[in-house]
A and B are shown apart, each in its own frame.
Chain A
Amino acid sequence: MPFIPHTEAEIGEMLATIGAPSIDALFDEIPAALRIKSLAAIPDALTEMEVGRLMQARASQDGRPLNFLGAGAYEHHIPAAVWAIVTRGEFYSAYTPYQAEASQGTLQLLYEYQTMMSSLTGMEVSNASLYDGASALAEACLMSVRAHRRSKSARIVVPSTLNPTYLSVSRAIVEGQNLNFTVLPYEQGKGTLEFSKLAALKGDDLTAVVIQQPNFFGQMEDVDAITDWAHANNALVIAVVNPLSLALFKPPGEWGAKGVDIVVGDGQPLGVPLSSGGPYFGFMTARMEHVRQMPGRIIGRTVDLDGKQGFTLTLQAREQHIRRSKATSNICTNQGLLVTAATIHMSLLGAAGLESVAATSQRQTNKLVEKLTRIPGVKVVFDGYRFHEAVLQLPTKVSDVLEALARRNIIGGLDLSNLYPELGNALLVCATEMRTDADLDQYAAALADVLERKP
């Protein structure tokens, strides 16, 4: 019996202690008519050896194609030490640190994480994580409504250069709470927010303005001007950022004259593998004045009965297990293990290492763009300064090209033609430090080949 330790003799002794004739008798309070007859659709048990064979076969079926897809999930080198430590049983199989004395390892690590994320984003406080970047933005929108009491509109301004999935997730999560989103267009040819459209909202009652930097196209928004405009117009600013990019770029806490109010994003680039989209973790940092409106767990440093330093969950009066229907969010479980990975990852790379990874990713993407745009009919759509993603225009239908590339064992990027139909046959590509020059050449050769054969 997998994972059940009981011997027949023990079962007998235990039933005798209970005073029950059989294990079945323990279910005598359940109405007989409700009892399961069979679970026909569940297959027979497999041994570890058998399930290992099955999983390896499934994994091999998908293989390890050469990846040029980003769009919110990025392939970076992860030091071997990161997951070797993360999967230690003491982290992997620990519970939420409600019993602080028995959880000092997790709690101290989270305090260190909060320190690192605050510094990286240039903000004062961080929570201990949310589910992922998209749901973190939804939580930030709800938080901005709580934090901005003077605004009555619950109206949030979002540029169309925000990752479109982040917007759809936010819409789904805030659906019951009367928030409304105003989506502003990007400037043709530039791929950044059309500032005049934002300026036209002057005088409106706005709760918050969302800015993604670098934006979904990999382009850089004029974050200083947008932040200052928002503050001048009594709106809070929510920044959505790739934490790796902050090794190079000005942190949101320094945008404009005052810095933004809330920062969110996906922590995946910090030591979390692509793994089909999760588990990743969402991060959130903010100004100190908003700390009581933050969702999720927060760790504080304090002292014990002997005056010794220790760490504990704090400001719990915000949370669902205390406030119930009046909590700041229904969130309970977060993504602790992924935060463990990120904290170890950031410690191993340090600011210098992150800077080098970010710079190399940017360089490889620029090289990729250069190589691909030498192919007849392939053009770069936005010329501006970019981080590590770029939008290309292809001479033919993108989904067909991606399928053909997949047959050549290359994941060629994201088809934008459904998300941004006005861009035509547009493809979002990404290269990180993981892609060698030879990889880039291989992609360029495959793409040229695919485009030549087009019907």
Chain B
Amino acid sequence: MSHITEPLIFKHSRPGRSAVGQYPQGVSAEVPEKFRRRKRAALPEVSELQAVRHFTRLSQLNFSIDTHFYPLGSCTMKYNPRACNAFAMLPEFLGRHPLAPNSASQGFLACMYELQEMLKEVTGMKGVSLTPMAGAQGEFAGVAMIRAYHRARNDLERTEIIVPDAAHGTNPATATMCGCTVVEIPSLPNGDIDIDALKSALGPKTAGIMLTNPSTLGVFERRIQEVAKLVHDAGGLLYYDGANLNAILGKVRPGDMGFDVIHMNLHKTFSTPHGGGGPGSGAVGVGQRLLPFLPIPTVGKDGENYRWLDEKDIPHTIGRLSAFMGNAGVLLRAYVYMRMLGREGMHRVAEFSALNANYLLARLKKAGFDPAYPERRASHEFIITMKRQARELGVNAMDFAKRLLDYGFHAPTTYFPLLVPECLLIEPTETEAKQELDGFVEAMIAIQAEAEQDAAKLKGAPYNLPVRRLDDVRAAKQLDLTYGMRSTE
């Protein structure tokens, strides 16, 4: 990682300069006065080398999986195999127009069909649609299907979605976006759902419940079959948030636990890249009850031929969620990954992510850190609470997180889930070697020693990155969202 910051690209810009080899020369358009742009957009005017150097230097100001360990709970930052990128970027795949006729698309459609089939198998679902473009859109599709199901049965009162307090923020936000009201239920001190609270939340207004299992507390919901029965008996459906699917891949299937619908974060479990915040892919799987409502398009097979299925084939669909068919390039990467893992490899995902998590937990426990759920097994992730350090030393979870950056480790997820004070949610993933985990433990031990000797030092971390802690309050109060917005330059 570079420590030298890079000026804004606009500082490299000089009037009249451009990468002239990149566009046709000597062509201009005749535009009627009423439509004509009067002043050119203020895009940079730089040479090709200047642009290449600028953006290469910017890349060097980033942490990434390829350069750093990311024990980021709930995010599954595993290795993104290069082969997945290389084969998804074959020129024929890049050049395929999304609306090309089926007859000219059999190779691509075969990949998508087989991906649907494999995702059905690993989740225990009856149908899959690949179209949602991110986890939150998959969630949207899931809740919209639950709504459509009740409406199709003329069960119009069911508008409440039950969400545990540990849930991801997207869960309640999605329920609201679908026109539902959110009923929050608490978790027990051991991390399991409070069954009594669930029972009293269930009723004739219950549309469904959104759960992730293992939960965001990093523990498996042991009474899941009982939960499923209660919800189904009350007339509701179960939604599985696939954020934590890595923990159980190849071990247990959401469909077998009783879930009616699931979204999968292909950018987590199936190793497509996070790309600095996207693209994701939130494919949805459904059980029998929700098959008629799947978002379109999906891929079907007639004899030996693949074809798109649309509203003519799935008349009760909740509709289209993207202009075409979702993030096709991401789906191709996930397909390559699944083919490389194969049947045996699927089991190993959960096995080795659990091995790494439980090993890291055991070592941190021995080093004196406090697990939030000491009597429980870790799933693929676990929580350490810094409550004691905050009380005794005046350093909090954020200080540890920021200091870890100096040691060359991306910070774990901090302050989520919200109900565990001063928490670090740690997920090592299956692709990290033991040495890397040991290095992380040693860094945590060293930081603990620093905290005991000189708490103020931790408060100032990080020191070895391109910038130190940033003034977020100023960022929000004196908004500077574009170059030139504030005339300071």
Contact = CB atoms under 8 A, between A and B. Distances in A.
Contacts of B369: none
B188 interface: no
A16 B22 CA distance: 59
A380 interface: no
Contact of B64 (A52, A90, A279, A329): A90
A18 B177 contact: no
Which of A27, A220, A330 has the most B CB atoms < 10 Å from its CB?
A: A330
A69 B250 CA distance: 42
Given A88-B59, A108-B6, A135 B345 contact: no
Contacts, number: 687
A309 B5 contact: yes
Contacts of B278: 96, 129, 279, 281, 333-338
Contacts of A251: 37, 41
A312 to B, nearest CB: 5
A355 B319 contact: no
B275 to A, nearest CB: 3
Interface string A184-226: 0000000000000000000000000000000000001010100
Which of A30, A129, A338, A354 has the most B CB atoms < 10 Å from its CB?
A: A30
B431 A4 contact: yes
Contacts of B466: 101, 104, 310
B135 interface: yes
B78 interface: yes
B369 to A, nearest CB: 15
Nearest to A88: B59
Interface string B213-253: 00000011010110000000000000000000000101111
Nearest to A96: B277
Contacts of A172: 144, 295, 318-321
Contact of A90 (B23, B66, B348): B66
A403 B476 CA distance: 55
A112 B41 CA distance: 13
Interface in A343-366: 343-344, 346-360, 362-363
A83 B40 contact: no
Interface in A19-42: 19-20, 23-24, 26-31, 33-36, 38-42
Contacts of A220: 35
Nearest to B220: A29
B104 A65 contact: yes
Interface in A149-196: 163, 165-166, 168-169, 171-173, 175-178
B58 A108 contact: yes
A327 B174 CA distance: 9
A1 interface: yes
B419 to A, nearest CB: 13
A104 B92 contact: no
A352 to B, nearest CB: 5
Contact of B434 (A14, A118, A247, A407): A14
A81 interface: yes
B321 A414 contact: no
Contacts of A15: 355
Contacts of A105: 57-62
A41 to B, nearest CB: 4
Given A64-B92, A176-B144, A347-B51, A403 B273 contact: no
Interface in A254-304: 254, 266, 273-281, 291, 297-304
Nearest to B28: A359
A308 B4 CA distance: 12
Contacts of B352: 4, 6, 23
A349 B342 contact: no
Contacts of B110: 58, 61
Given A35-B251, A178-B179, A356-B23, A131 B41 contact: no
Nearest to B111: A58
Contacts of A51: 83, 87, 336, 339-340
A220 B343 CA distance: 54
B400 interface: no
Contact of B92 (A4, A62, A95): A62
B323 A132 contact: yes
Contact of B279 (A18, A55, A338): A338
Contacts of B79: 3
A89 B323 contact: no
B276 A340 contact: yes
Interface residues of A, number: 201
A103 interface: yes
Contact of A177 (B55, B172, B179, B431): B179
B189 interface: no
B475 A302 contact: yes
Nearest to A121: B41
B62 A81 contact: no
Contact of B250 (A39, A52, A175, A305): A39
Contact of B274 (A95, A166, A279): A95
Interface residues of B, number: 203
Interface string B315-350: 000111111111111101000101111111111101
B24 A433 contact: yes
B303 interface: no
A69 B27 CA distance: 23
Given A39-B343, A308-B467, A125 B279 contact: no
B446 interface: no
Interface stretch (B93-101, B194-202, B386-394): B93-101
A14 B355 contact: yes
A105 B57 CA distance: 8
A300 B476 contact: yes
B48 A45 contact: no
Given A177-B179, A351-B41, A359-B29, A5 B433 contact: yes
A85 B83 contact: no
A324 B346 CA distance: 33
A347 to B, nearest CB: 4
B288 interface: no
Interface stretch (A70-78, A371-379, A443-451): A70-78
Nearest to A430: B97
B265 to A, nearest CB: 8
B319 A168 contact: yes
A342 to B, nearest CB: 11
Contacts of A303: 470-471, 474
A350 B59 CA distance: 21
Contacts of A131: 133-134, 137, 279, 322
A382 interface: no
A367 B155 CA distance: 57
B482 A126 contact: yes
Interface in B69-110: 70, 72, 75, 77-81, 83, 85-87, 89-101, 103-108, 110
Contacts of A337: 273, 275-276, 278-279
B18 interface: yes
Nearest to A69: B97
B355 A11 contact: yes
Which of A106, A134, A297, A362 has the most B CB atoms < 10 Å from its CB?
A: A106
A87 B354 CA distance: 30
Contacts of A360: 23-24, 27
Nearest to B295: A172
Interface string B96-136: 11111101111110110000011011100000000001111
Which of B108, B250, B276 has the most A CB atoms < 10 Å from its CB?
A: B276
A406 B363 CA distance: 61
Contacts of B314: none
A312 B472 contact: yes
A237 interface: no
Given A51-B340, A274-B94, A278-B325, 7 more contacts: A48-B340, A69-B99, A93-B273, A95-B276, A102-B405, A320-B170, A326-B176
11 contacts: A27-B377, A69-B97, A90-B59, A93-B80, A101-B470, A103-B276, A115-B10, A248-B31, A320-B169, A322-B169, A350-B19
Closest 6 CB pairs of A and B: A45-B342, A277-B324, A89-B66, A176-B179, A337-B275, A277-B98
